[in-house]
A and B are shown apart, each in its own frame.
Chain A
C-alpha cells in the first residue's frame, strides 16, 4: 500500500481521537459568562478584561456576530439557551423579540435617561447616536451640501445621495421613519427617486469616504471615525431635527450563567465601562454622566425630536411594504 493511503488512514485515526478529546462541550467549563457580542473586538476585549479583574474567577467567553446572526442564534437555541448576555444591537432588535430577554433591575439604572432603559429592565442603553449626513467635502463643498431631510428631496441632489435600504438595515429604517414622522410619503417618495439604496449600511459611509458618492446617511460616530482616519468628510446635522437611536445590552432568558449575566450587565452599564466606550468607539454614551467624545458636537446645539419607537414597531411592516412599492416602481 502506498504512503499516501497510509498517511490518509493515520490522519483519519488521529482525527477520530482528536474529536473524542475535544467532544466535551465548552460550557461545561466552570465559572463563565457567555457574551453574544455585536460590537468591535477592541471594545469587547477591553470590557472582558476589566470585568474579569473586578470579578476574579469568572471567565468571559465572547461569541461575535452581526446583530441579525446573534438574534437568529438566540432564537434557534431558545429551548436550551447557550448565551448569557447580548451586547450592542439596536434597541429595536431587542424590542422585536423582547420575549427572549430577561427583566433585571440593575443598580446602574439611575445613571440613565428613562428612555434608554426598557420599562422592565430587559435592556439597558449603551451608545446613543444621532443620524446625520456624511459629506465628502472634496466632491461637494459643505455650503452646497443638503442641510435638512427636506433638502434630500430636491432635484439637484439626484444621484448624489447614498442610503442603506430601510428593508435591510435597522438604522436606515429609523432614518426613513424620521423622515416619515416629519414630512410623510410626499418627501420620502422624492428621496426614493433621488437616492441610491444599498443593502449594507456600512457602504453608506465607506463609499462616501472613498469618494464614490458625495453624501451618505449614517450614524454620527461613523463620520467622526472616518474623519479621524484622514478622509475628506464632514458632518451635517439635519436642521429640521434628528432623533437619537439607542443600542443596548440585555440578559438572555434562561441562559446558563444567570448570576454572572447580571454581574456583567451591572458592569457594562457602569460609568467606567461607558467611559471606555466613548474613548475607544467615539460614540455618545446613553448614561447621563458621561461626556461625548471630543470631535462630536454638544447635543444641546443639535435640533432633535423624540423618536417614536412604538410607532416604528407598529407600522414597520406597512411602511416597508409602501417603500418596496415605490422603490420597485422607480
Chain B
C-alpha cells in the first residue's frame, strides 16, 4: 500500500491539527471552566469580580479537612508503595518465566480494576470484617484473631490490591519491550542474574515504574468507595468531595477539594519528569526479539506460585460478587443458605441492551484514546512542540478530577450553544475519552522515551516518509505499551459510573447504571448478577486481546 501514501509532511500536519482541535474543544474548554468553578461561590456565575478563594479556606480552618488531606497523602503513598512492591516481581515473572496460561494471567490481573462500584469495596467487609468469612474461618479453625480492617491499614491494603494492576501492566509491557540482548551481554560479561536485574533491567524500566506509580497514586487518592466503606471515621479527600456534592449540592466546593488532588498530582508529575530527565535512557535500539535466558526450574515455579497467589487475593472481592450473584438468601450465615439462578433470571430482560451499549461506548472511546494518545505522546516525547508540560497537564488534570466534576463540566459545556451533545452517545464517548486518555498517553510516552530516536532518523535517511517511519518503526516498538494502555481504558470504562450517571440518556443505559439501579433498592444480589456479567465480559475481552497480541506483538503492525 506504499503507493497510496500522502506526500511529504501532510499527514503529520493533518493528524497534529486534529489532535489540537480535539484537545481544545473536549479537554481544555470543559475542564478549564470546571476548574475555574473552584474559585467561585456556589451558584455564582463566572465573572472576574466573583473569583474568590473562599472554597479553599476550610483547609486552613477545619480540623477534619486538614486531617483528610494528610490521610489522603499517607494512604495514597503507602498503597502506591505496596502496589509497586507487589507488581515488580509479578511483572518480571510474567515477562520472563514462560508463564503458563499467560493470557488468563493478564486478564485476571485486570479484573481488580473493574470491581463493580460499591459492591467491590463492600466485599472486603464480607471477607475480612469483624464477622467476615475469612475472619471467622481463621478464628474458628486457626485460633487467629485478625486486626480490624477499619482504618488506615484496611484502606491501604484494599487500595493497593485494587490498583496494583496499573503498575503491573505498565511494567509487564515495559519488560517485554526491553531488548534482551543487553541483558545477555551483561550475563556474558559475567554478571549474576541479580546483578543484571539491578544494574541493567531495572534502570531501563525505571521510567515505566515511575509512570505506573503515578497512576496508582492518582487513583488511590481519588478513590471514594474503599475509604467510604473501610475507612470508618478515617476520612480522606474524596469522602469530603462526596459530602459537598451529596450533602450540600455544592459543586464549587467539591471542585476546590478536587484541585487539592490536582496539586498533589502535579507534584508527583514533577517528580516523574525529574526521574525521566536524570535517569532516562534510550534502550530499544532494534526490533530483534530474542527469548530471555530462561529461569531455573525452582525459581520459575516459585515465580508462578507467587503470581497466582497475588491474583487470588486481589480477586477475592470479585469472587464474593460471583458468590452473591448465585445467592437467593444470605442472612446471618457464613455462606449463602439458598443458591439459585433467580438473580440472573431477573436481570435477563435488559442484559443484552446494556451490555451492547457498554461495549459500543467503551470501544469507541478506547479507539479515540489510542489514536489521540499515541499522536500526543509521540509529539511531546520528540519535542517538536513547545510547552510539553502544558500537554501533560491538559491530559492529566481530567484524569485526576472526580468524575462528577467532569460530568458537570460536559453537561454545562454541551447542553446549549453551538454544539449540543447531551442525550447522545457522543457526549459519553468524549467524556470517557477525556477521563481515560491519560492511560494511553502515559504508557505510550514511557515506551517512546525508551526508543532511541536515531532509529527514526535512520528510517528517514533511508527514504521512508513520516507515515512509513511511524508504521514500520515507531508503532511496532510501542505496540505492547499501546495495547496495555488500550486494555486499561476499555476494562475500566466497562465499570465507569461517576460520569455516566450524569450524562447517560435512556437510550444509552450502560451495565453499571443497571447495577446502580439495583443498589438504589439495596438489592445487592441482583446487582452482583450484573457485576458477574461485567467480570466475565472483561475476562473474555482482555484474554482475547492479549492472546491475539501476545502471540507475536511485534508482528502486529508490520
Contact = CB atoms under 8 A, between A and B. Distances in A.
Interface of A: 1-2, 4-5, 8, 11-12, 15, 18-19, 22-27, 34, 38-44, 61-69, 71-73, 75-77, 79-80, 82, 93, 96-97, 138, 165, 167-170, 173, 196-200, 202-203, 206-207, 209-213, 222, 225, 229-232, 281, 320, 324-325, 327-330
B212 interface: no
Given A38-B520, A199-B239, A328 B423 contact: no
B74 interface: no
A11 B367 CA distance: 8
B520 A41 contact: yes
Contact of B364 (A15, A42, A43, A80): A15
A197 B425 CA distance: 39
Interface string B228-245: 110111010001001101
B416 interface: yes
B501 interface: yes
B129 A22 contact: no
Which 10 pairs across A and B sit closest by C-beta, in order of nearness? Answer: A40-B521, A230-B331, A68-B246, A328-B63, A211-B131, A61-B506, A76-B411, A25-B423, A41-B517, A168-B243
B558 interface: yes
A17 B545 CA distance: 24
A166 to B, nearest CB: 8
B64 A76 contact: no
Contacts of A26: 423-424, 505-508
A68 B331 contact: no
A324 B364 contact: no
A76 B408 contact: yes
B41 interface: no
A283 B67 CA distance: 38
Contacts of B249: 68, 71-72, 75, 93, 96-97
Interface of B: 1, 62-64, 67, 122, 125-126, 129-131, 150, 227-229, 231-233, 235, 239, 242-243, 245-249, 251, 329-332, 337, 360, 363-364, 367, 371, 404, 407-408, 411-412, 415-416, 420, 422-426, 429, 471, 501-502, 504-508, 513-514, 516-518, 520-523, 555-558
Contacts of A73: 407, 411, 502
Given A200-B228, A225-B522, A64 B131 contact: no
Most buried by A among B229, B504, B514: B229
Contacts of A173: 247
Contact of B425 (A12, A22, A61, A62): A22
Contacts of B125: 207, 210, 212
Nearest to A5: B557
A211 B235 CA distance: 23
Contacts of A80: 415-416, 422
A198 B225 CA distance: 12
A61 to B, nearest CB: 4
A267 B64 CA distance: 45
Nearest to A71: B249
Contact of A69 (B337, B415, B502): B502
A64 B513 contact: yes
Contacts of B522: 40, 202, 206, 222, 225
Contact of B231 (A64, A199, A232): A199
13 contacts: A22-B425, A25-B423, A26-B505, A39-B520, A41-B521, A42-B523, A62-B506, A65-B502, A76-B502, A80-B416, A138-B332, A197-B233, A230-B329
Contacts of B239: 168, 199
Contacts of B122: 206
Contacts of B422: 25, 77, 80, 82
Given A73-B502, A324-B64, A25 B420 contact: yes
Contact of A230 (B126, B337, B502): B337
